[in-house]
Amino acid sequence: MMLSIAEVLTPEQVAECRQAFERASWQDGRGTAGHQAVKAKANQQLAQDDPLAVQVGDFIVQRLGSHPQFVSAALPLKVLPPRFNRYSDGGTYGNHIDNSIFSVPGSAQRVRSDLSATLFFSEPDEYDGGELVVEDSYGSHRVKLPAGHLVLYPGSSLHRVEPVTRGVRYAAFFWIQSLVREDNQRSMLLELDKAIQALTQQVPDSAELARLTGVYHNLLRHWANT
Protein backbone atom coordinates (compact mmCIF):
# COMPACT_ATOMS: atom_id res chain seq x y z
CA MET A 1 0.00 0.00 0.00
CA MET A 2 1.22 3.47 -0.93
CA LEU A 3 -0.84 6.43 0.23
CA SER A 4 -0.60 10.22 0.05
CA ILE A 5 -2.05 12.11 3.01
CA ALA A 6 -2.85 15.78 2.50
CA GLU A 7 -2.40 18.68 4.92
CA VAL A 8 -0.68 16.98 7.81
CA LEU A 9 0.70 20.46 8.48
CA THR A 10 -0.96 23.78 7.61
CA PRO A 11 0.79 26.30 5.34
CA GLU A 12 1.47 28.46 8.39
CA GLN A 13 3.08 25.58 10.25
CA VAL A 14 5.18 24.67 7.21
CA ALA A 15 6.34 28.28 6.84
CA GLU A 16 7.39 28.45 10.50
CA CYS A 17 9.37 25.22 10.19
CA ARG A 18 10.99 26.38 6.96
CA GLN A 19 12.25 29.57 8.55
CA ALA A 20 13.87 27.50 11.29
CA PHE A 21 15.33 24.99 8.80
CA GLU A 22 16.99 27.77 6.81
CA ARG A 23 18.89 28.87 9.93
CA ALA A 24 19.70 25.34 11.14
CA SER A 25 23.07 23.59 11.35
CA TRP A 26 22.91 20.81 8.78
CA GLN A 27 25.39 17.91 8.82
CA ASP A 28 26.63 15.44 6.23
CA GLY A 29 23.90 12.82 5.93
CA ARG A 30 26.40 10.04 5.39
CA GLY A 31 27.10 10.12 9.12
CA THR A 32 23.84 8.24 9.77
CA ALA A 33 24.06 5.82 6.83
CA GLY A 34 24.86 2.15 7.13
CA HIS A 35 27.81 0.42 5.46
CA GLN A 36 26.03 -0.08 2.15
CA ALA A 37 23.82 3.04 2.17
CA VAL A 38 26.75 5.40 2.72
CA LYS A 39 27.86 4.73 -0.86
CA ALA A 40 24.51 5.97 -2.23
CA LYS A 41 23.79 8.85 0.13
CA ALA A 42 24.60 12.51 -0.63
CA ASN A 43 22.46 14.84 1.44
CA GLN A 44 22.39 16.77 4.70
CA GLN A 45 20.56 15.99 7.94
CA LEU A 46 19.88 17.57 11.28
CA ALA A 47 21.51 15.79 14.19
CA GLN A 48 18.94 13.61 15.96
CA ASP A 49 19.58 15.45 19.24
CA ASP A 50 19.39 18.90 17.64
CA PRO A 51 16.79 20.85 19.67
CA LEU A 52 15.05 21.92 16.46
CA ALA A 53 14.76 18.31 15.26
CA VAL A 54 13.36 17.24 18.63
CA GLN A 55 10.86 20.12 18.78
CA VAL A 56 9.54 19.76 15.23
CA GLY A 57 9.60 15.97 15.45
CA ASP A 58 7.46 15.97 18.60
CA PHE A 59 5.02 18.34 16.93
CA ILE A 60 4.71 16.10 13.85
CA VAL A 61 4.01 13.02 15.99
CA GLN A 62 1.37 14.99 17.89
CA ARG A 63 -0.31 16.05 14.64
CA LEU A 64 -0.25 12.51 13.26
CA GLY A 65 -1.89 11.11 16.36
CA SER A 66 -4.97 13.25 15.70
CA HIS A 67 -5.04 12.77 11.91
CA PRO A 68 -7.83 10.25 11.12
CA GLN A 69 -6.49 9.20 7.72
CA PHE A 70 -3.00 8.52 9.06
CA VAL A 71 -4.32 6.53 12.03
CA SER A 72 -6.67 4.52 9.80
CA ALA A 73 -3.97 3.72 7.26
CA ALA A 74 -0.98 3.11 9.52
CA LEU A 75 -2.68 1.73 12.64
CA PRO A 76 0.41 2.96 14.51
CA LEU A 77 1.78 1.14 17.54
CA LYS A 78 5.11 3.00 17.66
CA VAL A 79 6.42 5.98 15.69
CA LEU A 80 10.16 6.58 15.51
CA PRO A 81 11.01 10.24 16.22
CA PRO A 82 11.12 12.01 12.84
CA ARG A 83 14.43 12.91 11.23
CA PHE A 84 15.04 15.76 8.80
CA ASN A 85 17.00 16.03 5.57
CA ARG A 86 18.04 18.66 3.06
CA TYR A 87 18.88 18.07 -0.61
CA SER A 88 20.52 20.66 -2.90
CA ASP A 89 23.33 21.05 -5.45
CA GLY A 90 22.87 17.58 -6.93
CA GLY A 91 22.12 15.94 -3.58
CA THR A 92 20.65 12.48 -3.97
CA TYR A 93 20.11 9.12 -2.27
CA GLY A 94 20.44 6.08 -4.51
CA ASN A 95 18.41 2.88 -4.39
CA HIS A 96 18.23 1.37 -0.90
CA ILE A 97 15.96 -0.45 1.52
CA ASP A 98 15.60 0.95 5.03
CA ASN A 99 16.77 -0.93 8.11
CA SER A 100 14.22 -3.38 9.48
CA ILE A 101 14.71 -2.32 13.12
CA PHE A 102 15.57 1.11 14.55
CA SER A 103 16.53 2.02 18.10
CA VAL A 104 14.81 4.99 19.71
CA PRO A 105 17.54 7.44 20.77
CA GLY A 106 18.05 7.60 24.50
CA SER A 107 16.02 4.49 25.29
CA ALA A 108 16.07 0.71 25.04
CA GLN A 109 12.96 0.78 22.85
CA ARG A 110 13.07 -0.51 19.29
CA VAL A 111 10.77 0.13 16.33
CA ARG A 112 10.15 -2.29 13.46
CA SER A 113 9.90 -0.34 10.20
CA ASP A 114 6.61 -1.69 8.82
CA LEU A 115 5.93 1.67 7.14
CA SER A 116 8.16 4.46 5.88
CA ALA A 117 6.94 8.05 5.74
CA THR A 118 8.15 11.26 4.10
CA LEU A 119 6.64 14.63 4.99
CA PHE A 120 7.47 17.38 2.50
CA PHE A 121 8.44 20.91 3.56
CA SER A 122 9.26 22.32 0.08
CA GLU A 123 6.74 23.07 -2.65
CA PRO A 124 7.25 21.07 -5.88
CA ASP A 125 8.03 24.19 -7.94
CA GLU A 126 10.78 25.27 -5.53
CA TYR A 127 13.20 22.61 -6.74
CA ASP A 128 13.96 20.45 -9.79
CA GLY A 129 14.42 16.72 -9.34
CA GLY A 130 14.17 15.36 -5.81
CA GLU A 131 11.35 12.91 -6.55
CA LEU A 132 10.98 10.03 -4.12
CA VAL A 133 10.90 6.93 -6.33
CA VAL A 134 9.43 3.81 -4.77
CA GLU A 135 9.70 0.44 -6.50
CA ASP A 136 7.15 -2.30 -5.91
CA SER A 137 5.54 -5.22 -7.75
CA TYR A 138 3.42 -2.74 -9.75
CA GLY A 139 6.40 -0.72 -11.02
CA SER A 140 7.96 2.62 -10.10
CA HIS A 141 6.05 5.38 -8.33
CA ARG A 142 7.43 8.92 -8.44
CA VAL A 143 6.35 11.13 -5.55
CA LYS A 144 6.71 14.90 -5.25
CA LEU A 145 4.01 16.27 -2.98
CA PRO A 146 3.04 19.78 -1.85
CA ALA A 147 4.55 21.08 1.37
CA GLY A 148 2.70 19.78 4.40
CA HIS A 149 1.65 16.56 2.65
CA LEU A 150 2.92 13.09 3.58
CA VAL A 151 3.44 9.81 1.74
CA LEU A 152 3.25 6.39 3.41
CA TYR A 153 4.73 3.27 1.81
CA PRO A 154 5.92 -0.18 2.95
CA GLY A 155 9.25 -0.09 4.76
CA SER A 156 10.38 -3.11 2.74
CA SER A 157 10.27 -1.12 -0.52
CA LEU A 158 13.33 -0.34 -2.63
CA HIS A 159 13.39 3.44 -3.03
CA ARG A 160 15.58 6.45 -3.86
CA VAL A 161 15.60 10.24 -4.02
CA GLU A 162 16.48 11.67 -7.43
CA PRO A 163 19.20 14.36 -7.63
CA VAL A 164 18.05 17.90 -6.80
CA THR A 165 19.45 20.07 -9.59
CA ARG A 166 17.83 23.39 -8.60
CA GLY A 167 16.64 24.78 -5.31
CA VAL A 168 16.39 23.01 -1.97
CA ARG A 169 14.24 20.06 -0.91
CA TYR A 170 13.45 19.89 2.83
CA ALA A 171 11.63 16.88 4.28
CA ALA A 172 11.02 14.85 7.41
CA PHE A 173 11.29 11.08 7.27
CA PHE A 174 10.45 8.43 9.82
CA TRP A 175 9.19 4.91 10.36
CA ILE A 176 6.12 3.35 11.95
CA GLN A 177 5.60 0.00 13.61
CA SER A 178 1.99 -0.89 12.94
CA LEU A 179 -0.45 -2.86 15.05
CA VAL A 180 -0.88 -4.96 11.89
CA ARG A 181 2.42 -6.15 10.50
CA GLU A 182 1.31 -7.36 7.05
CA ASP A 183 0.79 -4.71 4.37
CA ASN A 184 -2.04 -6.57 2.60
CA GLN A 185 -3.96 -6.89 5.87
CA ARG A 186 -3.57 -3.18 6.62
CA SER A 187 -4.79 -2.42 3.09
CA MET A 188 -7.93 -4.50 3.55
CA LEU A 189 -8.66 -2.89 6.91
CA LEU A 190 -8.24 0.55 5.39
CA GLU A 191 -10.65 -0.21 2.55
CA LEU A 192 -13.18 -1.64 4.99
CA ASP A 193 -12.85 1.41 7.25
CA LYS A 194 -13.33 3.76 4.29
CA ALA A 195 -16.46 1.86 3.22
CA ILE A 196 -17.86 2.02 6.76
CA GLN A 197 -17.22 5.78 6.94
CA ALA A 198 -18.91 6.33 3.56
CA LEU A 199 -21.95 4.27 4.52
CA THR A 200 -22.18 6.16 7.82
CA GLN A 201 -22.67 9.33 5.78
CA GLN A 202 -25.06 7.78 3.23
CA VAL A 203 -27.23 5.47 5.38
CA PRO A 204 -26.46 6.34 9.01
CA ASP A 205 -29.43 4.37 10.36
CA SER A 206 -28.57 1.10 8.62
CA ALA A 207 -28.42 -1.87 10.97
CA GLU A 208 -25.75 -3.42 8.73
CA LEU A 209 -23.26 -0.75 9.79
CA ALA A 210 -22.96 -2.35 13.22
CA ARG A 211 -22.24 -5.71 11.60
CA LEU A 212 -19.60 -4.28 9.27
CA THR A 213 -17.99 -2.39 12.14
CA GLY A 214 -17.93 -5.63 14.11
CA VAL A 215 -16.19 -7.39 11.22
CA TYR A 216 -13.57 -4.62 11.10
CA HIS A 217 -12.79 -4.86 14.81
CA ASN A 218 -12.77 -8.66 14.82
CA LEU A 219 -10.28 -8.66 11.94
CA LEU A 220 -8.16 -6.07 13.74
CA ARG A 221 -8.33 -8.14 16.93
CA HIS A 222 -7.25 -11.23 14.96
CA TRP A 223 -4.37 -9.55 13.11
CA ALA A 224 -3.11 -7.09 15.72
CA ASN A 225 0.37 -7.73 17.09
CA THR A 226 0.97 -5.71 20.24
* Torsion-angle region of 42 (φ positive above 0: left; ψ -120 to 50: alpha; else: beta): beta
Largest CA distance in the chain: 59
Q: Would you say 89 is a known binding-site residue?
A: no
**Is residue 125 marked as binding?**
no
30 is in an annotated binding site: no
CA gap 153, 74 in Å, rounded: 10
Is 98 marked as a binding-site residue? yes
User: What DSSP state is assigned to residue 59?
Assistant: H
CA angle 39, 105, 11 (to 5 degrees): 80
Q: Give the C-alpha separation, 85 to 170, whole Å.
A: 6
Known binding-site residue numbers for Fe cation: 96, 98, 159
